[in-house]
Amino acid sequence: MDNDIKKELMIVIFGATGDLTKRKLIPALFQLYKKNNISTKNPIVCISRSDMSNDNFISRLDMKKYIPKVTKDDLDDFIKLIKYHSLDFSENCNIDKCESCDNCKTLAMAINTLDKNNQCHGNRIFYLATPPSTFENISRIIRKTLPENCKGQMKIAFEKPFGFDLESSRKLNKSISTIFNEDEIYRVDHYMGKALVQDILLFRFSNLLYEQVWNNKFIDNIQITISESMGVEYRAGYYDKTGAIKDMLQNHLMQLLSLVAMDEPQSFNAVHVRREMSKIPTSLKLPHKNDLVISQYKRYLDNKNTDTSYIEEYGVSNKSKTETFVALKMEIDNNRWRGVPIYVRTGKRLKSTFAEMNIVFKDVSCKLFPKGTCYNNSSNTITIRIQPDTGIALSFNIKKPGPGLEIMPVKMDFCHHCLFNLNTPKAYEAVFQAIINGDQTIFTSWDSVESSWKYTDHILDIAKNKDLSYYGPGSTGPKEACDLLGASGRKWIN
């Protein structure tokens, strides 16, 4: 998108009363405003079912809480951009009567007036921060509220999850493809907006040092962990129907894996990058039942642990068998990766919150040095820390000082946030900026979504025939997740 068009643009958020809008989307737009990347010429239209005044909506956004160090002056300026509208876009809203529906007419008029007053020329970003069940309906409403002769640039962003399974995602994609072109569709996975995730491609493909050894000849295993100390909080209604496999494996873990394992794209252009990324979920071998661990957090009454079990959380059924933790051994069936186990794990109410990837090289130290001088765990390892402290570390071996020849692993550690923290945009800021720029690189292509769901559906089938294990809240996960690696003499890198 060129600069002039970028300046003349309306942002429309559906699901404006939701948690995501309050905690992430509005703070991200505020930061873009502070950096002059959006301006008073970019109205932010916020839409939800709940009926309330603009002032009431703005106070519910609680911006002082969610935007660190914000001043009153900054806020007074920024809130002038925000216009709230209520509209029922659930199943009750009869799309076929949209033209005659007062709700839609009022919204269309409001949007078109704002467009005219701010000279947006019909350039609009629609951001759907609502459950996927509403995506189809909202897409149709958007189309119906656009004036016939609208010549502006249109972009529509869908929050994850894109569908609930392969069938529903295909149905959804088919339907929205009749309304929008693929180059107008932005399927959001906010992990792709994180600074270190965006760094992975450059780290791999702009450093001669690493790419040459990025294959099964040199790499022993890859580990990807997304650990959360939070429980389900107030999102039990959503989470209990979803579970860790659909909530994290199908999207965030799959995208991280695709970045770390993809082949070099023809260029860094969105089409080429997304094409290579989409080949990874398609190339995954179907795992065996023993390669999967599903688990749920549960307090153990015998050790005075007063934490809550998952089934005791507000809004969760006391018979729930939903997995709050998943670990899986995966394998990519291509020439580069065949034979390399890829271990992924994610869970809630774990000991700490962090996301990282470990690329563990084959251990050669014990082949060269006499027994007793090498550790079992002296493999070279590249650690990519995605959050909270971002950075990349390389562990390698040196001689332990002193007499004799003893190997000692040490680390070279690049701390990304120490160097760039103040200037690093948060994930949703990067997401909005990329949509504004019309750059689809960090958004999931339909091919990726489809093949991820195909694989995930298979994992869900396996999970149906597996017993759920349990782990203590505040622990590093169930014992079974360690056994997954232990069987081959490996260990999670913690």
Ligand X SMILES: NC(=O)c1ccc[n+]([C@@H]2O[C@H](COP(=O)([O-])OP(=O)(O)OC[C@H]3O[C@@H](n4cnc5c(N)ncnc54)[C@H](OP(=O)(O)O)[C@@H]3O)[C@@H](O)[C@H]2O)c1
Stretch of 14-22, 214-222, 454-462, 479-487 lying at the interface with ligand X (CB under 6 A): 14-22
Active site residues: 252
| Mutual angle of helices 195-205 and 254-261, in 10-degree steps | 20
Residue nearest to ligand X (CB): 18
Q: Is 410 helix (H, G, I), strand (E, B) or coil?
A: strand
Nearer to ligand X, 326 or 342 (CB): 326
Please report whether residue 130 would count as binding ligand X according to CB under 6 A.
yes
Please report whether residue 250 would count as binding ligand X according to CB under 6 A.
no
In the complex, least distance from residue 61 CB atom to ligand X, rounded to whole angstroms: 12
Nearer to ligand X, 273 or 431 (CB): 431
Sign of CA dihedral 153, 16, 129, 345: positive
Please report whether residue 353 would count as binding ligand X according to CB under 6 A.
no
Please report whether residue 474 would count as binding ligand X according to CB under 6 A.
no
Q: 66 to 95, contacts with ligand X by CB under 6 A? A: 89-90
Please report whether residue 312 would count as binding ligand X according to CB under 6 A.
no
Q: What is the CA 113 to chain-centroid distance, rounded? A: 35
The β-bridge relationship of strands 44-48 and 10-14 is parallel
Nearer to ligand X, 27 or 265 (CB): 27
Please report whether residue 287 would count as binding ligand X according to CB under 6 A.
no
Stretch of 15-23, 279-287, 422-430, 461-469 lying at the interface with ligand X (CB under 6 A): 15-23
- Helix %, strand %, coil % for the chain, to 5? 45, 20, 40
Nearer to ligand X, 130 or 320 (CB): 130
* Exposed/middle/buried for residue 145 (C-beta within 10 Å: 0-12, 13-18, 19+): buried
Please report whether residue 387 would count as binding ligand X according to CB under 6 A.
no
Applying CB under 6 A, among 28, 120, 129, 430 the residue interacting with ligand X is 129
Nearer to ligand X, 147 or 237 (CB): 237
Quick note: the x/- pattern for ligand X over 143-172, rule CB under 6 A, is ----------------xxx-----------
Of 126, 109, 120, 100, the C-alpha closest to 45 is: 126
Of 245, 260, 270, the C-alpha closest to 187 is: 270
Quick note: the x/- pattern for ligand X over 18-57, rule CB under 6 A, is xxx---------------------------xxx-------
Q: Please list the alpha-helical segments (H only) found in 245-287.
A: 254-261, 270-282
Total residues contacting ligand X by CB under 6 A comes to 18
Please report whether residue 15 would count as binding ligand X according to CB under 6 A.
yes
Element (H, E) at 32: helix 26-34
Stretch of 16-24, 192-200, 344-352, 438-446 lying at the interface with ligand X (CB under 6 A): 16-24
Please report whether residue 17 would count as binding ligand X according to CB under 6 A.
yes
DSSP string of 164-179? Answer: SSHHHHHHHHHHHHTT
Nearer to ligand X, 48 or 123 (CB): 48
DSSP string of 179-228? Answer: TS-GGGEEE--GGGGSHHHHHHHHHHHS-HHHHTT-STTTEEEEEEEEE-
Stretch of 13-21, 109-117, 175-183, 214-222 lying at the interface with ligand X (CB under 6 A): 13-21
Other Cβ atoms within 10 Å of 91 Cβ, number: 10
Q: Are the C-beta atoms of residues 358 and 223 closer than 8 Å to each other?
A: yes
Q: Contact positions toward ligand X, by CB under 6 A?
A: 15-20, 48-50, 89-90, 129-131, 134, 159-161
